[in-house]
Amino acid sequence: MPPVSEPYDVVVVGLGLAGLTAALAAAERGARVLALGKGYGTTHFRSGTIDVLGHAGAEVVGNPRAGLAQLCQERPEHPYALLREELEPALTLVRDATAESSLELLGDLDANRLLPTALGTLRPACLHQPTMGADLRGASVLAAGIEGYRDFEPALFAANLPAAAAAHGIELRARAARVEMPPLRRHHLDGPGLAQLFEQAWFRDQFLETLRPDLGDATLVALPAVLGLRHAAEVHAILERRLGVPVIELPALPPSVPGMRLQRALESALRVRGGRVQVGARARFVREGGRALLEIAAAAHPFRIPLRRLVLATGGPVSGGLVVERSGRVSETVAGVPVEQPAGEPEHWYGNDFLGAGAQPVSLAGIRVDAAMRPLGGGEVVDPDLFAAGGLLAGACRSAELSADGIACASGHAAGREAAS
């Protein structure tokens, strides 16, 4: 065999939070990194917060650190059981990386913050963007929607919020307004499009002018999370100054503007550290005569990348990292590593309570890993050069626990570090 050079030390498949964190952690250690994905990752579908642990059963978790200790004790098979020491450095890495793009992430492991949602409910988050949180106690909230932007309904928000807040012992009032922006008639408005408009002074001026008569006694203005992409902090500060009251953003339907901010900031930090990113690449891991290769379904003929270490961060069934086959088997799509199957027969894998705790046994399926995030099959390491992180990992009920981002960051951090070592 001719001498072979591997152009990358670590290749990461998956461009969501787990993949980007893994790539960053590896690049931080001087590894030559390529991160690729079949498209953009789940950052575009999520709220742009870092949820570590929000619910324990029916209870809201106030202190994620304490909640984690309890969770790990009760469920030693949960991915967090391997990752408790990993969370703090992982969140620091992510926070520092996004700060380079002027995207601050506020909060820490000792307290969740209750953030209003677009539906007027409150949900706990560990880290959040500075545009999202405010003191709600005693507030008179004005929720403003933008005519033509159908992904946020201010009346629905205002109708739900007081009762939802009262359930957490918070008293407040809320009302709705709609801002009509005449020049937008020809647009079909979506979040990223509005975010781009909010970065332009003429648009902000007109928006503020139209909103001001509705302000009344409002002590807090709630807007859909569309206040800019690259310059969100600046836009937010301008709006607060001009309105004279705090302004919060409510993450609305995908594509998520706060999620895009997070993805862009992390991607940019990765590039600064010499990492490469390739979007639109479907990959398959192969071993050929001992050589580890990633085969990309490129145009006309496959593109094969020799590599040393591979991190799988392709997500669960929704993201396509795992696929539930018709035969009733869950399998992994890039390297074919063994998957811990859901308990029971396939007809019991799904429940009626969509997001309820433990209601979807299928979501517990996934890959078992050792402490170095290497996939296991029958208790043995499957391939010493393979690592896994994020939504692929078995044992968590992420949507019920509100734990997806914390697992992604912590396992991504561990997998990236181990792969680069």
Judged by the rule CB under 8 A, the positions of this chain that interact with another protein are 2-7, 34, 36-41, 44-45, 186-188, 190, 192-193, 196, 254-255, 260, 267-268, 271, 276-282, 296-301, 303, 305-306, 319-320
Closest approach of Cβ 203 to another protein, in Å? Answer: 13
Closest approach of Cβ 7 to another protein, in Å? Answer: 6
Closest approach of Cβ 304 to another protein, in Å? Answer: 8
Of the pair 270, 397, the CB lying nearest another protein is at 270
Rg (CA), the chain: 22
Closest approach of Cβ 26 to another protein, in Å? Answer: 17
Q: How far apart are CA 64 and CA 358, in angstroms?
A: 19
Tokens of 32: 């030559």
CB 407 within 8 A of CB 399: no
Closest approach of Cβ 109 to another protein, in Å? Answer: 30
CB 86 within 8 A of CB 72: no
Q: Phi/psi at 337 (nearest 5 deg)?
A: -75, 155
Of the pair 68, 260, the CB lying nearest another protein is at 260
Closest approach of Cβ 32 to another protein, in Å? Answer: 10
Of the pair 37, 54, the CB lying nearest another protein is at 37
Closest approach of Cβ 195 to another protein, in Å? Answer: 10
Of the pair 32, 55, the CB lying nearest another protein is at 32
Closest approach of Cβ 193 to another protein, in Å? Answer: 7
Of the pair 44, 368, the CB lying nearest another protein is at 44
Tokens of 374: 């290497």
Tokens of 333: 């799509």
CB 412 within 8 A of CB 389: yes
Of the pair 71, 310, the CB lying nearest another protein is at 310
Q: Is the peptide bond before 346 cis (omega within 30 degrees of 0)?
A: no
Give the CA count within 13 Å in the CB-facing half-sphere of 29: 17
Of the pair 137, 271, the CB lying nearest another protein is at 271
Of the pair 18, 142, the CB lying nearest another protein is at 18
Of the pair 90, 265, the CB lying nearest another protein is at 265
Closest approach of Cβ 179 to another protein, in Å? Answer: 19
Closest approach of Cβ 373 to another protein, in Å? Answer: 23
Of the pair 58, 299, the CB lying nearest another protein is at 299
